[in-house]
Amino acid sequence: MKSIDKIPTGKIGRTSKLVQTGAKIGGNYLKYYSKKAFNKELTRDDLDRDNANDIYDGLKSLKGSALKVAQMLSMEKSLLPSAYVEKFSLAQFSVPPLSAPLVRKTFKKYNGNYPEDLYDEFTSQSVNAASIGQVHRAIKDGKKLAVKIQYPGVADSISSDLAMVKPIAIRMFNLQGKDSEKYFKEVEGKLLEETDYVLEIKQSKAISEACKHIPNLKFPQYYEKLSSERIITMDWMDGQHLSEFVKDNKDQEKANKVGQALWDFYMFQMHGLKEVHADPHPGNFLVDKAGNLIAIDFGCIKKVPDDFYVPYFELAKKENIDNPEFFNEKLYELEILREDDTENEIKYFSELFHQMLSLFTSPFHSETFDFSDRGFWDAITKLSEKYSKDEELRKMNGNRGSKHFLYINRTFFGLYNLLHDLEAKVEINRFRDYL
């Protein structure tokens, strides 16, 4: 894979790149409709493929929060055309890395030393490149290490990158009024935290220690003396990325073992720690030969306050979902229903969220759940398609739900997707043994 010698870090340079990408997409639409005029049977598949390629090519050169958005979108398998999911999923762990000279320069800037000054051996070529940083192999005192280096300018460009995508998000989700700002501030805050590697090490060590007793779950050790605000040094962990394991694995028992560890890990965090690893994509997990799950990235941790946690999980119980008075009371607590809603809006959103929660919480309504169940996933896809085409929904104020929904829902959607990919069958309440 061709490496990158320079990343645009200024607002003008990054904006210019996005404008160029927009022009390419406009050309793709023009080409598509020209062909459509002569062939009425033409599908959007080629258009989706061309747009996905051009968007990804533009974002991968910017890296940072712009590429992070693509990574987050790749998890929305039920909402995005497959061409986008396939292309954007590359942002999880396979993007063009920094060149060796730029790595060396970046290392000196962030750590005050060149790699050869700190390690006995350092591989200049990246073994893993994602949206915010890339990973290199190193050896120190005979110990195999993984060294994560943050891309130049990522932390400084987050606010301006989000400002560029904000108008698009407002149109996509029909956000109205000043209240919408809370969602953008939540995303900006989390992205800024992800660029603080000192914080990440602190979070990594705390959660690793708290979860070390959960079976079939492993974590690397972290080394503060070889780390800094933009560089992390940790143990090198041998294993396959979760997506690679899924492709290669033919052993259902091993898939269930990995899936159970994943489920227990997340439920323990959610219910025991009241904070959770909120970036569950395949690039953040490895699977070793023995079928142990290895968590390797704790940059995005979401704290779950009690005033959100309590009503959120009260609505995970079927008897509460089916109690209209109690259900609507919790919708107000979770800011899904608003005091200024019309009768039509109350009726519409109550019905919408009743359908959604009845479906999305169904794994919690039994002792075991099979995430390979096609009926479950077909129902999610059908529901997503229904409301994505709903003209009535487009007319309503889209400011729905507490800001905490953004990362908690992302966590559950990501977790469900990983378990679906594994085709794992899990015991839902086993995590309680470890609380």
Tell me the pLDDT tens digit for each residue of 256-279: 999 999 999 999 999 999 999 998
Segments making up each domain of the chain, as ranges:
11-92, 305-403
Distance in angstroms (rounded) separating the CA atoms of residues 319 and 326: 10
Q: Give the model's pLDDT for residue 393.
A: 74
Given a contact cutoff of 8 angstroms between Cβ atoms, the answer to whether 401 and 334 are in contact is yes
Distance in angstroms (rounded) separating the CA atoms of residues 140 and 236: 11
Question: Residue 79: which pLDDT band, with cuts at 50, 70 and 90?
Answer: very low
Distance in angstroms (rounded) separating the CA atoms of residues 217 and 233: 20
On average, the pLDDT of the chain sits at 83
Q: Which of 1-10, 71-80, 136-145 has the highest mean pLDDT?
A: 136-145
pLDDT at 89 > cutoff 60? no
Report, as an integer, the average pLDDT of 158-187. 69
Report, as an integer, the average pLDDT of 71-84. 52
pLDDT at 246 > cutoff 80? yes
Given a contact cutoff of 8 angstroms between Cβ atoms, the answer to whether 97 and 150 are in contact is no
Q: Give the model's pLDDT for residue 398.
A: 65
Report, as an integer, the average pLDDT of 142-153. 92
Question: Residue 375: which pLDDT band, with cuts at 50, 70 and 90?
Answer: very high
Question: Residue 34: which pLDDT band, with cuts at 50, 70 and 90?
Answer: low
The H-or-E segment that residue 78 falls in is none
Given a contact cutoff of 8 angstroms between Cβ atoms, the answer to whether 119 and 139 are in contact is yes
Question: Residue 151: which pLDDT band, with cuts at 50, 70 and 90?
Answer: confident
The CA dihedral of 166, 171, 342, 314, to the nearest 10 degrees, is: -60
Percentage, residues of the chain above pLDDT 90? 50
Report, as an integer, the average pLDDT of 132-146. 94
pTM of the model: 0.83
Q: Give the model's pLDDT for residue 188.
A: 82
Question: Residue 181: which pLDDT band, with cuts at 50, 70 and 90?
Answer: confident
Q: Of 7 and 102, which is predicted with more confidence?
A: 102
Would you give the distance in Å from CA 143 to the centre of its chain? 31
pLDDT at 43 > cutoff 80? no
Q: Of 129 and 29, which is predicted with more confidence?
A: 129
The H-or-E segment that residue 114 falls in is none
pLDDT at 91 > cutoff 70? no
pLDDT at 56 > cutoff 80? no
Give every CB contact of residue 59 below 8 A, 6+ residues apart in sequence: 21, 66, 67, 69, 70, 91
